[in-house]
Chains A and B, each alone.
Chain A
Amino acid sequence: MPDDSSPALKSPRQAALAGLKAAAGLPSFMLMASLIGVGGLCRDVGYPMGAAVASTILVWAGPAQMVLFGSIAAGVALPLIAVAICVSSIRFVPMCMSILPLMREPAVPARDGQPARKGTPTWLMLILAHFVAVTAWVEGMRRLPAMPKPERIPYFLAFASTVMLAAAFSTGAGYYLIAKLPPALAAGLLFTSPIYFTVALAAGARQSVDWLALVLGFGAAPLVALVVPAGFDLMVGGIGMGTLAYAIHRLQQARRRRAEGA
Protein backbone atom coordinates (compact mmCIF):
# COMPACT_ATOMS: atom_id res chain seq x y z
CA MET A 1 0.00 0.00 0.00
CA PRO A 2 1.67 3.31 -0.99
CA ASP A 3 1.64 5.72 1.92
CA ASP A 4 0.90 8.96 0.14
CA SER A 5 -1.13 10.32 3.04
CA SER A 6 1.43 13.05 3.80
CA PRO A 7 2.37 14.89 0.61
CA ALA A 8 4.85 17.11 2.53
CA LEU A 9 8.48 16.40 1.72
CA LYS A 10 10.38 14.57 4.45
CA SER A 11 13.52 16.26 5.76
CA PRO A 12 16.76 14.35 5.06
CA ARG A 13 16.80 13.27 8.69
CA GLN A 14 13.22 11.96 8.53
CA ALA A 15 13.97 10.14 5.28
CA ALA A 16 17.07 8.57 6.86
CA LEU A 17 15.00 7.50 9.85
CA ALA A 18 12.50 5.84 7.51
CA GLY A 19 15.37 3.99 5.82
CA LEU A 20 16.72 2.84 9.15
CA LYS A 21 13.28 1.57 10.17
CA ALA A 22 12.79 -0.29 6.90
CA ALA A 23 16.20 -1.95 7.34
CA ALA A 24 15.69 -2.99 10.94
CA GLY A 25 13.30 -5.86 10.22
CA LEU A 26 13.46 -8.61 7.63
CA PRO A 27 16.34 -7.20 5.51
CA SER A 28 18.77 -7.06 8.44
CA PHE A 29 17.66 -10.42 9.73
CA MET A 30 18.17 -12.04 6.36
CA LEU A 31 21.65 -10.55 5.89
CA MET A 32 22.67 -11.58 9.38
CA ALA A 33 21.55 -15.12 8.63
CA SER A 34 23.39 -15.31 5.34
CA LEU A 35 26.67 -13.76 6.51
CA ILE A 36 27.04 -15.71 9.74
CA GLY A 37 28.62 -18.49 7.67
CA VAL A 38 31.30 -16.19 6.24
CA GLY A 39 32.68 -15.70 9.75
CA GLY A 40 33.09 -19.44 10.11
CA LEU A 41 34.82 -19.79 6.73
CA CYS A 42 37.25 -17.02 7.64
CA ARG A 43 38.10 -18.74 10.90
CA ASP A 44 38.73 -22.00 9.05
CA VAL A 45 41.59 -20.40 7.08
CA GLY A 46 43.19 -19.04 10.25
CA TYR A 47 42.52 -15.36 9.58
CA PRO A 48 41.56 -13.01 12.43
CA MET A 49 37.95 -12.07 13.10
CA GLY A 50 38.63 -8.55 11.87
CA ALA A 51 39.33 -9.87 8.36
CA ALA A 52 35.86 -11.47 8.25
CA VAL A 53 34.20 -8.22 9.35
CA ALA A 54 36.35 -6.20 6.91
CA SER A 55 35.27 -8.49 4.07
CA THR A 56 31.61 -7.77 4.82
CA ILE A 57 32.14 -4.01 4.89
CA LEU A 58 34.47 -3.85 1.87
CA VAL A 59 33.44 -6.68 -0.46
CA TRP A 60 29.75 -6.44 0.53
CA ALA A 61 28.67 -9.49 -1.43
CA GLY A 62 28.04 -12.71 0.47
CA PRO A 63 28.77 -15.11 -2.42
CA ALA A 64 32.05 -13.34 -3.29
CA GLN A 65 33.14 -13.48 0.36
CA MET A 66 32.38 -17.21 0.44
CA VAL A 67 34.41 -17.68 -2.74
CA LEU A 68 37.28 -15.68 -1.20
CA PHE A 69 37.62 -17.62 2.05
CA GLY A 70 36.44 -20.95 0.62
CA SER A 71 39.07 -20.82 -2.15
CA ILE A 72 41.84 -19.79 0.23
CA ALA A 73 40.91 -22.84 2.31
CA ALA A 74 41.07 -24.99 -0.82
CA GLY A 75 44.55 -23.64 -1.62
CA VAL A 76 43.60 -21.75 -4.79
CA ALA A 77 46.20 -19.14 -5.85
CA LEU A 78 45.18 -15.63 -4.80
CA PRO A 79 45.29 -14.05 -8.31
CA LEU A 80 42.94 -16.79 -9.55
CA ILE A 81 40.56 -16.05 -6.68
CA ALA A 82 40.59 -12.38 -7.66
CA VAL A 83 39.69 -13.34 -11.24
CA ALA A 84 36.79 -15.52 -10.06
CA ILE A 85 35.47 -12.73 -7.85
CA CYS A 86 35.90 -10.20 -10.63
CA VAL A 87 33.89 -12.35 -13.06
CA SER A 88 31.06 -13.06 -10.60
CA SER A 89 30.86 -9.39 -9.62
CA ILE A 90 30.01 -8.26 -13.15
CA ARG A 91 26.43 -8.68 -11.99
CA PHE A 92 26.84 -5.42 -10.08
CA VAL A 93 26.83 -3.54 -13.39
CA PRO A 94 23.13 -4.02 -14.28
CA MET A 95 22.22 -3.67 -10.60
CA CYS A 96 24.12 -0.39 -10.12
CA MET A 97 23.05 0.92 -13.52
CA SER A 98 19.38 0.45 -12.75
CA ILE A 99 19.38 1.82 -9.19
CA LEU A 100 21.85 4.72 -9.36
CA PRO A 101 19.80 6.87 -11.79
CA LEU A 102 16.91 6.67 -9.30
CA MET A 103 19.03 8.58 -6.80
CA ARG A 104 21.16 10.93 -8.83
CA GLU A 105 20.00 14.55 -9.06
CA PRO A 106 20.97 15.92 -12.48
CA ALA A 107 22.79 19.24 -12.74
CA VAL A 108 20.38 22.02 -13.68
CA PRO A 109 21.69 25.13 -15.50
CA ALA A 110 20.47 28.57 -14.41
CA ARG A 111 17.14 29.37 -16.10
CA ASP A 112 14.13 31.66 -15.60
CA GLY A 113 15.74 33.44 -12.67
CA GLN A 114 16.38 30.12 -10.89
CA PRO A 115 20.04 29.70 -9.87
CA ALA A 116 21.98 26.78 -11.35
CA ARG A 117 21.91 23.61 -9.27
CA LYS A 118 24.82 21.19 -9.06
CA GLY A 119 24.01 17.54 -9.61
CA THR A 120 24.87 14.77 -7.15
CA PRO A 121 28.69 14.82 -6.85
CA THR A 122 30.67 11.87 -8.16
CA TRP A 123 32.18 11.02 -4.78
CA LEU A 124 28.68 10.56 -3.38
CA MET A 125 27.69 8.40 -6.36
CA LEU A 126 30.74 6.19 -5.69
CA ILE A 127 29.70 5.79 -2.05
CA LEU A 128 26.12 4.96 -3.06
CA ALA A 129 27.45 2.42 -5.57
CA HIS A 130 29.52 0.72 -2.88
CA PHE A 131 26.36 -0.05 -0.89
CA VAL A 132 24.69 -1.77 -3.85
CA ALA A 133 24.32 -5.50 -3.29
CA VAL A 134 21.35 -7.80 -3.71
CA THR A 135 19.48 -6.74 -0.57
CA ALA A 136 19.89 -2.99 -1.04
CA TRP A 137 19.04 -3.42 -4.72
CA VAL A 138 15.79 -5.37 -4.34
CA GLU A 139 14.59 -3.15 -1.49
CA GLY A 140 15.71 0.05 -3.21
CA MET A 141 14.12 -0.82 -6.57
CA ARG A 142 10.89 -1.58 -4.72
CA ARG A 143 10.70 1.52 -2.54
CA LEU A 144 12.66 4.37 -4.14
CA PRO A 145 10.49 5.05 -7.23
CA ALA A 146 7.49 5.95 -5.02
CA MET A 147 9.55 8.50 -3.04
CA PRO A 148 10.18 12.16 -3.85
CA LYS A 149 13.69 12.42 -5.30
CA PRO A 150 15.37 14.43 -2.49
CA GLU A 151 14.38 11.73 0.04
CA ARG A 152 15.96 8.88 -1.87
CA ILE A 153 19.68 9.32 -1.08
CA PRO A 154 19.30 9.78 2.71
CA TYR A 155 16.82 6.89 2.77
CA PHE A 156 19.09 4.56 0.80
CA LEU A 157 22.24 5.48 2.74
CA ALA A 158 20.52 4.90 6.08
CA PHE A 159 18.93 1.67 4.88
CA ALA A 160 22.12 0.25 3.40
CA SER A 161 24.44 1.22 6.25
CA THR A 162 22.02 -0.26 8.78
CA VAL A 163 21.89 -3.63 7.04
CA MET A 164 25.67 -3.48 6.55
CA LEU A 165 26.22 -2.87 10.25
CA ALA A 166 23.92 -5.77 11.16
CA ALA A 167 25.69 -8.00 8.65
CA ALA A 168 29.15 -6.99 9.94
CA PHE A 169 28.09 -7.77 13.49
CA SER A 170 26.76 -11.15 12.43
CA THR A 171 29.94 -11.99 10.47
CA GLY A 172 31.95 -11.33 13.62
CA ALA A 173 29.59 -13.41 15.75
CA GLY A 174 29.62 -16.22 13.19
CA TYR A 175 33.41 -16.37 13.49
CA TYR A 176 32.91 -17.81 16.98
CA LEU A 177 29.48 -19.48 16.72
CA ILE A 178 29.10 -21.27 13.41
CA ALA A 179 30.79 -24.52 14.43
CA LYS A 180 28.36 -24.91 17.32
CA LEU A 181 25.16 -24.72 15.25
CA PRO A 182 22.98 -27.84 14.75
CA PRO A 183 23.00 -28.88 11.04
CA ALA A 184 19.25 -28.29 10.47
CA LEU A 185 19.62 -24.71 11.63
CA ALA A 186 22.72 -24.26 9.48
CA ALA A 187 20.68 -25.47 6.47
CA GLY A 188 17.98 -22.97 7.40
CA LEU A 189 20.53 -20.16 7.50
CA LEU A 190 21.83 -21.05 4.04
CA PHE A 191 18.25 -21.10 2.78
CA THR A 192 17.53 -17.49 3.87
CA SER A 193 19.19 -15.95 0.79
CA PRO A 194 17.23 -17.91 -1.85
CA ILE A 195 13.86 -17.58 -0.13
CA TYR A 196 14.33 -13.91 0.74
CA PHE A 197 15.56 -12.94 -2.73
CA THR A 198 12.64 -14.80 -4.32
CA VAL A 199 9.88 -13.13 -2.30
CA ALA A 200 11.64 -9.73 -2.47
CA LEU A 201 11.86 -9.96 -6.26
CA ALA A 202 8.20 -10.99 -6.41
CA ALA A 203 7.24 -8.11 -4.10
CA GLY A 204 9.22 -5.68 -6.24
CA ALA A 205 7.89 -6.80 -9.62
CA ARG A 206 5.68 -3.99 -10.90
CA GLN A 207 5.36 -4.46 -14.64
CA SER A 208 4.89 -7.56 -16.75
CA VAL A 209 8.52 -7.24 -17.90
CA ASP A 210 9.69 -7.79 -14.29
CA TRP A 211 7.64 -10.98 -13.96
CA LEU A 212 8.85 -12.25 -17.32
CA ALA A 213 12.49 -11.65 -16.39
CA LEU A 214 11.96 -13.32 -13.03
CA VAL A 215 10.30 -16.46 -14.39
CA LEU A 216 12.55 -16.78 -17.46
CA GLY A 217 15.76 -16.20 -15.46
CA PHE A 218 14.73 -18.76 -12.90
CA GLY A 219 13.51 -21.36 -15.36
CA ALA A 220 16.45 -21.09 -17.73
CA ALA A 221 19.15 -21.33 -15.04
CA PRO A 222 19.39 -25.15 -15.03
CA LEU A 223 19.63 -25.28 -18.84
CA VAL A 224 22.14 -22.46 -19.09
CA ALA A 225 24.30 -24.13 -16.42
CA LEU A 226 24.52 -27.21 -18.65
CA VAL A 227 25.66 -25.34 -21.75
CA VAL A 228 27.77 -22.42 -20.51
CA PRO A 229 31.06 -22.84 -18.59
CA ALA A 230 30.74 -22.36 -14.83
CA GLY A 231 31.43 -18.80 -13.74
CA PHE A 232 29.85 -17.30 -16.83
CA ASP A 233 26.49 -19.08 -16.75
CA LEU A 234 24.79 -16.53 -14.48
CA MET A 235 25.88 -13.63 -16.66
CA VAL A 236 24.89 -15.35 -19.91
CA GLY A 237 21.53 -16.43 -18.46
CA GLY A 238 20.89 -12.96 -17.06
CA ILE A 239 21.64 -11.12 -20.28
CA GLY A 240 19.87 -13.71 -22.44
CA MET A 241 16.70 -14.04 -20.40
CA GLY A 242 16.57 -10.35 -19.47
CA THR A 243 16.82 -9.44 -23.13
CA LEU A 244 14.15 -12.01 -24.06
CA ALA A 245 11.83 -10.60 -21.38
CA TYR A 246 12.44 -7.09 -22.67
CA ALA A 247 11.81 -8.14 -26.29
CA ILE A 248 8.48 -9.77 -25.34
CA HIS A 249 7.58 -6.63 -23.40
CA ARG A 250 8.29 -4.47 -26.46
CA LEU A 251 6.22 -6.74 -28.73
CA GLN A 252 3.29 -6.54 -26.33
CA GLN A 253 3.60 -2.76 -26.22
CA ALA A 254 3.66 -2.54 -30.01
CA ARG A 255 0.61 -4.79 -30.33
CA ARG A 256 -1.29 -2.75 -27.76
CA ARG A 257 -0.44 0.46 -29.57
CA ARG A 258 -1.57 -1.02 -32.87
CA ALA A 259 -4.87 -2.16 -31.31
CA GLU A 260 -5.43 1.32 -29.93
CA GLY A 261 -4.60 2.91 -33.25
CA ALA A 262 -7.03 0.69 -35.20
Chain B
Amino acid sequence: MTATLAALEHWSGGLWPYLVVILFGFLPSEIWRWASVFLVRGLSEDAEILVWVRAVATALLAGVVAKLLLVPSGALAVVPVFWRWGALGAGILAFFVFRKSMLAGVIIGEAVLISAALLAAG
Protein backbone atom coordinates (compact mmCIF):
# COMPACT_ATOMS: atom_id res chain seq x y z
CA MET B 1 0.00 0.00 0.00
CA THR B 2 2.72 2.44 1.02
CA ALA B 3 4.70 1.59 -2.14
CA THR B 4 1.62 2.07 -4.30
CA LEU B 5 0.97 5.45 -2.69
CA ALA B 6 4.60 6.51 -3.18
CA ALA B 7 4.43 5.50 -6.84
CA LEU B 8 1.16 7.42 -7.22
CA GLU B 9 2.69 10.47 -5.58
CA HIS B 10 5.67 10.35 -7.93
CA TRP B 11 3.50 9.83 -10.98
CA SER B 12 1.01 12.59 -10.18
CA GLY B 13 3.72 15.17 -9.47
CA GLY B 14 2.27 18.61 -8.68
CA LEU B 15 -1.27 17.26 -8.69
CA TRP B 16 -0.62 15.00 -5.68
CA PRO B 17 -2.19 17.36 -3.08
CA TYR B 18 -5.40 17.47 -5.12
CA LEU B 19 -5.39 13.70 -5.44
CA VAL B 20 -4.99 13.42 -1.65
CA VAL B 21 -7.98 15.72 -1.11
CA ILE B 22 -10.11 13.65 -3.50
CA LEU B 23 -9.05 10.14 -2.46
CA PHE B 24 -8.64 10.57 1.30
CA GLY B 25 -10.99 13.50 2.03
CA PHE B 26 -13.76 13.69 -0.56
CA LEU B 27 -14.52 10.02 -1.26
CA PRO B 28 -14.65 8.74 2.36
CA SER B 29 -17.10 11.49 3.36
CA GLU B 30 -19.14 11.65 0.14
CA ILE B 31 -20.12 7.97 0.15
CA TRP B 32 -22.38 8.61 3.16
CA ARG B 33 -24.17 11.46 1.42
CA TRP B 34 -24.70 9.36 -1.68
CA ALA B 35 -25.78 6.33 0.35
CA SER B 36 -28.44 8.51 2.00
CA VAL B 37 -29.97 9.35 -1.38
CA PHE B 38 -30.71 5.66 -1.84
CA LEU B 39 -31.76 5.13 1.80
CA VAL B 40 -34.54 7.73 1.59
CA ARG B 41 -36.04 6.32 -1.60
CA GLY B 42 -39.77 5.89 -1.11
CA LEU B 43 -39.84 7.82 2.18
CA SER B 44 -42.27 10.71 2.22
CA GLU B 45 -41.33 13.85 4.12
CA ASP B 46 -43.85 13.16 6.87
CA ALA B 47 -42.81 9.54 7.45
CA GLU B 48 -42.74 8.81 11.18
CA ILE B 49 -39.22 7.34 11.02
CA LEU B 50 -37.91 10.75 9.94
CA VAL B 51 -38.95 12.25 13.30
CA TRP B 52 -36.55 9.79 14.91
CA VAL B 53 -33.83 10.41 12.27
CA ARG B 54 -34.11 14.16 12.87
CA ALA B 55 -33.84 13.65 16.64
CA VAL B 56 -30.66 11.61 16.08
CA ALA B 57 -29.18 14.29 13.82
CA THR B 58 -30.04 17.03 16.33
CA ALA B 59 -28.56 15.12 19.28
CA LEU B 60 -25.45 14.41 17.20
CA LEU B 61 -24.91 18.07 16.38
CA ALA B 62 -25.49 19.07 20.00
CA GLY B 63 -22.78 16.54 20.84
CA VAL B 64 -20.46 18.09 18.24
CA VAL B 65 -20.89 21.50 19.90
CA ALA B 66 -20.22 20.10 23.36
CA LYS B 67 -17.13 18.30 22.06
CA LEU B 68 -15.77 21.46 20.41
CA LEU B 69 -15.91 23.19 23.79
CA LEU B 70 -14.77 20.23 25.91
CA VAL B 71 -11.74 19.39 23.78
CA PRO B 72 -10.96 22.71 22.10
CA SER B 73 -8.22 23.03 19.51
CA GLY B 74 -5.61 25.70 18.92
CA ALA B 75 -6.26 29.22 20.13
CA LEU B 76 -9.58 28.29 21.74
CA ALA B 77 -7.75 26.03 24.22
CA VAL B 78 -6.09 29.13 25.71
CA VAL B 79 -9.46 30.45 26.92
CA PRO B 80 -10.24 29.03 30.40
CA VAL B 81 -12.99 26.39 30.46
CA PHE B 82 -15.30 28.55 32.59
CA TRP B 83 -15.30 31.28 29.97
CA ARG B 84 -15.81 28.91 27.05
CA TRP B 85 -19.06 27.68 28.62
CA GLY B 86 -19.85 31.16 29.97
CA ALA B 87 -19.63 32.63 26.46
CA LEU B 88 -21.94 29.92 25.12
CA GLY B 89 -24.40 30.56 27.97
CA ALA B 90 -24.29 34.33 27.34
CA GLY B 91 -24.98 33.72 23.65
CA ILE B 92 -27.97 31.48 24.39
CA LEU B 93 -29.31 34.02 26.90
CA ALA B 94 -28.95 36.86 24.37
CA PHE B 95 -30.68 34.72 21.73
CA PHE B 96 -33.77 34.39 23.95
CA VAL B 97 -33.67 37.93 25.39
CA PHE B 98 -33.58 39.45 21.91
CA ARG B 99 -36.62 37.40 20.88
CA LYS B 100 -34.80 34.51 19.21
CA SER B 101 -32.31 36.61 17.29
CA MET B 102 -29.47 34.39 16.06
CA LEU B 103 -27.37 37.44 15.27
CA ALA B 104 -27.65 38.73 18.86
CA GLY B 105 -26.72 35.29 20.19
CA VAL B 106 -23.62 34.98 18.03
CA ILE B 107 -22.43 38.56 18.63
CA ILE B 108 -22.85 38.49 22.43
CA GLY B 109 -21.29 35.01 22.67
CA GLU B 110 -18.32 36.07 20.54
CA ALA B 111 -17.89 39.33 22.49
CA VAL B 112 -17.69 37.45 25.80
CA LEU B 113 -15.27 34.87 24.40
CA ILE B 114 -12.91 37.35 22.72
CA SER B 115 -12.85 39.51 25.89
CA ALA B 116 -11.98 36.44 27.94
CA ALA B 117 -9.28 35.47 25.44
CA LEU B 118 -7.78 38.97 25.67
CA LEU B 119 -7.79 38.79 29.49
CA ALA B 120 -6.29 35.30 29.50
CA ALA B 121 -3.51 36.42 27.15
CA GLY B 122 -2.88 39.73 28.90
Contacts and interface: CB of A to CB of B under 8 A. Distances in A.
B28 A54 contact: no
B97 interface: no
Contacts, number: 303
A187 B78 contact: yes
A218 interface: yes
B64 to A, nearest CB: 6
Contacts of B88: 194-195, 198
Interface stretch (A8-16, A80-88, A110-118, A153-161): A80-88
B7 interface: no
Given A78-B5, A96-B33, A101 B45 contact: yes
Residues of A contacting B: mostly: helix
Main secondary structure of the interface of B (DSSP, over half): helix
A79 interface: yes
Most chain-B Cβ atoms within 10 A of its Cβ — which of A61, A93, A104, A224? A93
How many residues of B sit at the interface, in one of the four size bands?
35 or more
Contacts of B72: 190
B20 A72 contact: yes
A169 interface: no
Interface string A112-137: 00000000001001100110101001
A37 interface: yes
A37 B68 CA distance: 15
Contacts of B17: 47-48, 50-51
Contacts of B32: 86, 89-90, 92-93, 96
Contact of B57 (A47, A190, A196, A242): A242
Pairs A-B, 10 closest by C-beta atoms: A238-B60, A217-B59, A242-B56, A217-B62, A96-B36, A221-B66, A186-B75, A86-B28, A199-B105, A89-B29
